[in-house]
Structures are given as structure tokens and as C-alpha cells.
Amino acid sequence: MIYKLISIVVSAAIPIISLSASSGPDKIIPQPVEYSISEGIYNLKPDGSDVKVYLNSSDFAAKVSDLPDFAREEAYELIVGKKGVKIYAMTEEGAFRASQALEMMRLLDRDIQYCTVFDYPRFQHRGIMLDESRSFKGKDFVKKQIDALALLRMNVMHLHLTDAAGWRLQIDAYPNLTDHVAWRVGETYHEWEGLGYPFTNAEDPDAYGGFYTKDDIREIVAYAAERHIDIIPEIEMPGHSMEVNRAYPEIACVGEDGKPRPFSWDLCVGNEGTFKFLETVLEEVIELFPYKYIHIGGDEAVKKDWGECVNCRKRMQEEGMTHRNELQGYLIRRIEKFLNERGRTVIGWDEIVETGLPEEAVVMSWRGTPGGVKAASEGHDVIMSPNSYVYLDYYQDLIRKEPKAVGHMQSLRHVYKYDPLEGIAPEYHHHILGLQGNLWCELIPYAAHAEYMLYPRAFAIAEIGWTPQDQREFFNFRERCLRLITVFRAMGYNTFDLFNESLRAQTGRLRFDDPTFKLL
């Protein structure tokens, strides 16, 4: 069957920036699995009429028959020759990935070399997380980043929508969440913290924040689906939930004096009202987000108030618990059962491994790699997201030349050297679903700053997730990054200045006479 691929139509509004005599599969990110280049160049027609798509042909089906299901669905063959462009794929998703590889070639240079590409992803989950709670940037920003992920052949965007610093999702049953705790005083998380955690309303001239209406989310989800990107919502529990306790103190932990603790960091696991709240919220979340995964957090619960809460102590006694840590496992398992009954799968940060991991839950390993290694070895699916490699709020160059950030320097080179299968025994490799870069935004209140932290390190995450490990080489990758940064800037993205990256960030070395140093 043959189709014209509508999504490949060239936009005359986007400038073509050329850093080479022509473009081809050797210039793009992620690097394709297999490609060959022959003499001759081709210019795409602006209306896309010269791009033909063939779905589910018998020859291509035979070529991808040994691939895992996820790779087969995204696999494609792309042929550029003197008569135009042919794309072969099993699915529309595969055809779209091919169109984006072709589009990146076109953006790099109108002269595309004759070539044949056979390509498919290494991992099924290749994602980026945006922390919209600490720093709300809105649907236009999110859609712009979806465009970037699509071009990089990534397939997941994780939206961190709720946290102590702001609730960002309209919930009809609980209007106080957006009326009272979607706006705060203090642009950054730490400014707000220093002021004593003040919330306010949209009319306050000092207000910082906002939220997504249900129509906003439907628009974002539909926009992403057109680009074959799934959206994972995160509704944080039981920790990082002070905003919920401030909006609805009647479900907060209660001390011996009978008074609620609205400044408590954690949800009250002893109060049945907490579960009514969570289940009602999740019902509305399920209606908005069609992807099978729901992220429920599970990290950094303080648990201090649980030891002093009469309701939590009662719950512990009724359930035969001996330590308040068990309350978190109780909540996670109960919510997982609720979501499983509705056809959804829970994702949680790696702390959920410590409090009784539900059988079907997926672990997102963030505290380095040990949590993911342990979960995979116990037969659980894992998304690797270690702060030691892919936390994008960390410095990407020398501290003295960069805006204030978190942690140590995680340069492009440092991110690129990560392998999600490192430390995983071969018999458990199938449990590693992929990897994800996380952009936490305690110190990143604006869109331009967020993009500066994302790109080009997101390029590295895209290539790690797609390209076979033995085909990756940093210096070749960095040269391709320099070309692609120029394209991203022309499209209006505010990227890190890789052209003026320090020697230390480029090499991990301080001296030019170091034998491992290669001048770039």
C-alpha cells in the first residue's frame, strides 16, 4: 500500500542553515543503525509530493521480522534517489520516524545526498521530563518541546504536574487545587521557600504560576499523538504534597491536639479522605491521558508527621505495621490496584523498591543506577533516569560561566557516555525499557532557561536511546551536535553555547598535553 506522507511537507518559514556541502544520514541525530551514501544530491519538493510511503510491504516485513515488537513498529527504510524519496515501514509510527530523519537532513542542508537508511530504536522508552510544578511554562512551551522530541525521534514526554510548589492540573472535583495552590509568591522554588511557602491567587501582582485546563491537556495530548509521542502525567504521592494539605487541610495529618497539619510535606495515609481524593483525581487524570502509564511519584516522603498523626498510627495498628515506612508501601500498593483495575500501569521513583514493590509497577531509577539494577534483577520493568548522568538541571559547564544550577558538572560528554544497560546482567536486559532525561525546575523559572538546559544534552539522550551502543562515538556525535544546534537556534530554541564550551567540559581534562585530549 502506498501513501503520501503529509507530515513531510516542507515549511518555507524555517531557514536552512548549512555547515557542509550537503546533508545525509551521517549528519543527523540520532545516528541511524545502517546507512549507505551514493553520488548525487536531491532537493525535496516543498509540497512533499515526491515522498512516497509504503506500509507493510512483504519485503520490509521480512527485513524486520526478528526485531522486538517495539522496534518493528518504529523501524523504517528510507531511500533518497534521483526520482524522489521512498519510505518503507510497518506502521504509521515507523513512517513518521523516517519523515523526521528526512526532515533533519533537509534542515541541515537542502542538498540531500542519495542514500539508503535502515533504522530502528535500541530502546522503547526515550523520554524527557519537564517539571511544570516548580516552574510553569504553559502549553505553547510544551508543544514546542514536543516538536523537538519528534525531530530527535524520541517518543515520551513526562509532565511533572503536581508538587509542593504548585498544582498544575484542573481537577473539577477539587477546585481549591487551582484556585488556591496553583499560584505562589516567588519565581523560583527557593525564593518561595525562603518566604515561608506563601500561596496566592492569579490576581496578586506578585503571583507566579498557572495551571493547565482540561482543554489545554487535550490539546497537548492530541498534538503529541500526531507526532507519535506519548504523554505520561505525574501526580505526586505521598510526599511532595504540601500544596494538597494547604488546599484541603481536612485530609492532612492530625496531631494529638486534633488540629490538621497543613504544612505537612506528606499526604496522610491514615485518613480515608486521602484515598477518596487520590482516586477521584486519578479518575479525571485517566480521562485526559490515554497512555497506559501513570506516574505516582513515591520519592522523598519525609514521614515525620506520620509518627505524630493519630490517624496514621491507627492505620499502622490496624494493618499490623511496625514502622511508619510501611505506610508508603500501603499507599502505593492500594493506588496501584486502583489503577490496574482501570487498565493503567504505575510508574514510581526508585524509593518504591524499598517499601514493598507492587508486582506490575515500573521503576524509574533516579538515585544513580542501583535502584534500577535491583528492580530489573527482581523481574520488574525499569526506566533508567539516574541523576548521575541524565539530570538536566545540573551544570553543563564550569560553574563560573553558567547560570545557577544544581549538583556537579554533567557536560554533554558526560551525558553521552551513559549506557542504560551498564551493570545489568544480560538475562535482565529486556526489563530495561529505556531512559529518560529529567529537567527539574527549582532554579529554572523561564522557558528560555529551560531550553538552555535541555539542548544539546537532550540530543545525547536521544542517541543513547536509539543508536546501538557499539556504534556511538563522542567526537563524531559532538560534530553533529554543532550542526544541529545551529538549526535549533534558527528555529527559535535557546540552546547552550556548545561552540564556546570549556576544555574541561569537552574532555574531562584540564591540560592540552593530556594524551586523552582531542582538539575539537
Q: How far apart are CA 47 and CA 9, in angstroms?
A: 5
Number of CB atoms found within 10 A of residue 213's CB: 12
Q: How far apart are CA 217 and CA 472, in angstroms?
A: 36
Strands 125-131 and 156-160: parallel
Helix, strand, coil in percent for the chain, rounding step 5: 40, 20, 40
Residue 169 per-residue DSSP state: B
**125-507 belongs to CATH 3.20.20.80:** yes
Q: How many residues does the chain have?
A: 520
Number of CB atoms found within 10 A of residue 379's CB: 10
CA-to-CA dists, residue 352 to 69, 332, 336, 441, 491, angstroms: 28, 8, 11, 23, 40
Q: How far apart are CA 441 and CA 138, in angstroms?
A: 14
Domain boundaries, the chain: 2-119, 125-507
Helical H segments across 130-271, by residue range: 139-151, 176-179, 189-194, 214-226, 242-247
To the nearest whole percent, how much of the chain has pLDDT over 70?
A: 93
Nearest CA to 414 out of 390, 438, 444, 433 is that of 390
Element (H, E) at 88: strand 84-89
Contact at 8 Å (CB) between 443 and 190? yes
Q: Which residues are catalytic?
A: 163, 240, 300
**Chain CA centroid to CA 186, Å:** 26
Q: How far apart are CA 87 and CA 8, in angstroms?
A: 11
Q: What is the pLDDT of residues 105-147, one digit of tens each?
A: 999 999 999 999 999 999 999 999 999 999 999 999 999 999 9
Nearest CA to 238 out of 192, 303, 284 is that of 303
CATH of range 2-119; options 2.20.28, 2.60.40, 3.40.50, 3.30.379: 3.30.379
Q: What is the pLDDT of residues 414-437, one digit of tens each?
A: 999 999 999 999 999 999 999 999
Give φ, ψ of 402 to 5 degrees: -115, 155
DSSP state string for 269-286: TT-HHHHHHHHHHHHHHH
pLDDT by residue for the chain (520 residues), tens only, comes to: 444 443 433 333 344 444 456 999 999 999 999 999 999 999 999 899 999 999 999 999 999 999 999 999 999 999 999 999 999 999 999 999 999 999 999 999 999 999 999 999 999 999 999 999 999 999 999 999 999 999 999 999 999 999 999 999 999 999 999 999 999 999 999 999 999 999 999 999 999 999 999 999 999 999 999 999 999 999 999 999 999 999 999 999 999 998 998 899 999 999 999 999 999 999 999 999 999 999 999 999 999 999 999 999 999 999 999 999 999 999 999 999 999 999 999 999 999 999 888 889 999 999 999 999 999 999 999 999 999 999 999 999 999 999 999 988 999 999 999 999 999 999 999 999 999 999 999 999 999 999 999 999 999 999 999 999 999 999 999 999 999 999 999 999 999 999 999 999 998 754 334 444 343 3
Q: How far apart are CA 54 and CA 68, in angstroms?
A: 21
As given in the structure block, the three cell numbers for residue 145 are 518541546
pLDDT for the residue numbered 430:
97
Angle 408-414-420 from CA coordinates, rounded to 5°: 110
Number of CB atoms found within 10 A of residue 175's CB: 11
Categorise residue 258: left if φ over 0, alpha if ψ from -120 to 50, beta otherwise. Answer: left
Name every residue whose Cβ is closer than 8 Å to that of residue 65 and which is 6 or more positions away in sequence: 72
Element (H, E) at 98: helix 92-108
pLDDT for the residue numbered 20:
53
Residues β-bridged to residue 52: 4, 86
Q: Which residue type, as a one-letter code, is found at position 432?
A: I
Q: How far apart are CA 294 and CA 454, in angstroms?
A: 23
